[in-house]
Structure 1
């Protein structure tokens, strides 16, 4: 499993947010949503302008049934996608948010 590679890296350098993001992404891909959430939240809280962990955290929250918590995170990610000119993520986020309404 890819997550094991990043678990080792996080264990060696727990303050490295790139390792935390990669671990969260790997756990998400492995459908280990509850495990991914902790690492993605840390990334979201580390930088106000980091879009990708917000997208994944929002998706994690949707997968775990916490739509109320997911919506503002996904809206924040959409604002970042627009400001940073990331058209594909913006389109994906609009679609997700539209489905939540």
Structure 2
């Protein structure tokens, strides 16, 4: 259950990062509320996962999901560069997170 919570925390992190971009474009209470919801959910599920998982592993995977997911969402939703080198490094971050799961 801790690993599922950690993945959910990473998805909330991705949502929160997306809401930062939305807040920059639309300064309103709805965008701000969604931003707090995203990061609040992220921290809540991360804290739950860290009751079982080692802090270093949980934090590394959480940030990996958030960073990679944020970059991928930027490419899909906001027209950011899809250069092959960028995709290789995103793949490296994800493979490192999977590696941490395998050795934990």
The TM-score with structure 1 as length reference comes to 0.36
The TM-score with structure 2 as length reference comes to 0.35
By relative contact order (CA 8 Å, sep 6+), the higher-ranking structure is 2
Q: Looking at CA atoms only, which structure, 1 or 2, has the larger radius of gyration? A: 2
- Between Structure 1 and Structure 2, the one with more helix by share is 2
